[in-house]
Amino acid sequence: MTGTPPSRPKAPPGSTPENGGAVVPPAPGALRRALPLLGSLQGYIGLVLILIIGIWSQGDHFLSVENFTNAIGYFAPRGILAVGMTLVIIAAGIDLSVGALLAVGGTTAAWLLTEQNWPVVAIVPVCMLVCAVFGLVNGAGTALLKIQSFVMTLAMMTIARGIVREFSNNTSIGTVQIDAAGNVLPGSQQFQKLGTPGTSLFDVPILGYFPVLALVVVVIVFQLILSKTKFGRHIYAVGGNPTAARLSGVNVTAVTIAVFTISGMLAGLAGPINAAYNASADPVAGMGYELDAIAAVVIGGASLMGGRGSVVGTFIGALILTLLDNVLGLNQFSANWQMIIKGIIVILAVVIQRPELFSDLAAWLKRTFRREDGGAEATASATDPLAGDVKSPSEEVPDRDRAR
């Protein structure tokens, strides 16, 4: 049954009577073709727009390496959370616990540094492991106990926050330790390289700054996993149709547990970076970061219904949010206005992503145009009933006369 040479020529696209009615017909007109494309590129367009506004309003300052390093470094922990969130959301879940897990990671790191005097190279993997365990519990609750992930991770958010506050006695742990002579201890110096602005691991601008490096590496690795591995395909299948995935031999339980574990693990990476950036691990750090992460994922083109999205998209979404904050800040907008504008951007991004929005728009334009022509063309050309609602029924009358 395999190796049979293709005996039939491939059918010409959508041309047969059998599928003529069912295949979504190609939309005529360059406008109709161009508009949905615009929708799929909206992330890049948004990014370019923000860059243009930034350069136009605050050119020299905005473009400086220092500004970029600061802006991205500030946002990197949230960006890393967003990568994990992307996998969870593609699998049709949500992870509300990542902000709290970031605090768990940060406090664990600070404790290992100040109380145990561990080297940085050991601290980060251990933090990731600890948070991965929390993620594993999220996954097990979702996949095995069949608790909806919103509920499961909401509970975990509270639990993790409680644990970290109890563990730290509600006080933040400073990560810059000074000896009697007033010098910063070498361990602390190393730790600060994880996130303090102006420090770099090696001599490359921007990329030498650890938060940027970590974010970029995480984005590349998980984008490759998502698009090039069996596991990645299975994530999309689980989010797209779990029944079909299971009957196709996908281990839905394992995939679900894995994405939540990865999400937790990445929170464990973001925690120490965030602590180093702030030079202290606060038990209330990361409050609301999960929402920023979700916003980045959504701007990046994922659907909360699952089955759709990409890490690169999320990265662009995170960049848009970061640079938007930055540009607004440089132009003296207050934090309050930044929040309002960010919210509006999220709504716009989601609306723009609907391809049918543009085809409906094009259909509407076409109809309006035809009407001015005085044409008798009265059939609504949109397949979406909503699109036709704007049209008045009186248009049908000339048609009726023509028919008889």
Q: Binders of another protein among 225-254, rule CB under 8 A?
A: 228-230, 233-234, 236-237, 240-241, 243-251
As measured in angstroms, the least distance from the Cβ of 221 to another protein is 13
Q: Binders of another protein among 22-41, rule CB under 8 A?
A: 22-28, 32
Cβ neighbours for 309, distance < 8 A, ≥ 6 positions apart? 86, 89, 90, 297, 300, 301, 302, 303
As measured in angstroms, the least distance from the Cβ of 389 to another protein is 7
Q: What single-letter amino acid sits at 213?
A: L
For residue 178, the cross-strand partners are 184
As measured in angstroms, the least distance from the Cβ of 238 to another protein is 9
Identity of the residue, 332 or 394, whose beta carbon is nearer to another protein in the bound complex: 394
Counting residues that bind another protein (by CB under 8 A) gives 63
| Side-chain half-sphere exposure of 92, counting CA atoms within 13 A | 19
Identity of the residue, 13 or 288, whose beta carbon is nearer to another protein in the bound complex: 13
Identity of the residue, 188 or 353, whose beta carbon is nearer to another protein in the bound complex: 353
The binder of another protein chosen from 115, 288, 332, 404 (CB under 8 A)? 404
Helical axes 230-240 vs 65-90, angle rounded to 10°:
60
- DSSP code, position 380: -
Q: Does 14 bind another protein (CB under 8 A)?
A: yes
Q: Are 396 and 370 in contact (CB under 8 A)?
A: no
3-state secondary structure of 171: coil
- DSSP code, position 207: T
Identity of the residue, 96 or 378, whose beta carbon is nearer to another protein in the bound complex: 378
Binding mask 283-322 for another protein (x = CB under 8 A): ------------------------xx--------------
As measured in angstroms, the least distance from the Cβ of 314 to another protein is 18
In the chain, what is the straight-line distance between the N-terminal and C-terminal CA atoms, in Å? 57
Binding mask 334-373 for another protein (x = CB under 8 A): -------------------------x---x----------
As measured in angstroms, the least distance from the Cβ of 382 to another protein is 8
Locus of tokens 């797209």: 240
Cβ neighbours for 307, distance < 8 A, ≥ 6 positions apart? 90, 92, 236, 237, 239, 240, 241
Q: Which long-range contacts (CB under 8 A, 24 or more apart) does 328-331 make?
A: 330/54, 330/57, 330/58, 330/61, 330/62, 330/67, 331/57, 331/58
Binding mask 173-192 for another protein (x = CB under 8 A): --------------------
* Span near another protein by CB under 8 A; candidates 75-83, 136-144, 316-324, 381-389: 381-389
Q: How many residues in the chain? A: 404
Q: Are 43 and 300 in contact (CB under 8 A)?
A: yes
Q: Are 366 and 390 in contact (CB under 8 A)?
A: no
Locus of tokens 């779990």: 242
As measured in angstroms, the least distance from the Cβ of 223 to another protein is 13
As measured in angstroms, the least distance from the Cβ of 298 to another protein is 16
Whole-angstrom Cα Rg for the chain: 26
Q: Interface with another protein by CB under 8 A: which residues? A: 1-2, 4, 6-8, 10-11, 13-14, 16-28, 32, 228-230, 233-234, 236-237, 240-241, 243-251, 307-308, 359, 363, 378-383, 385, 388-389, 391, 393, 395-396, 399-400, 403-404
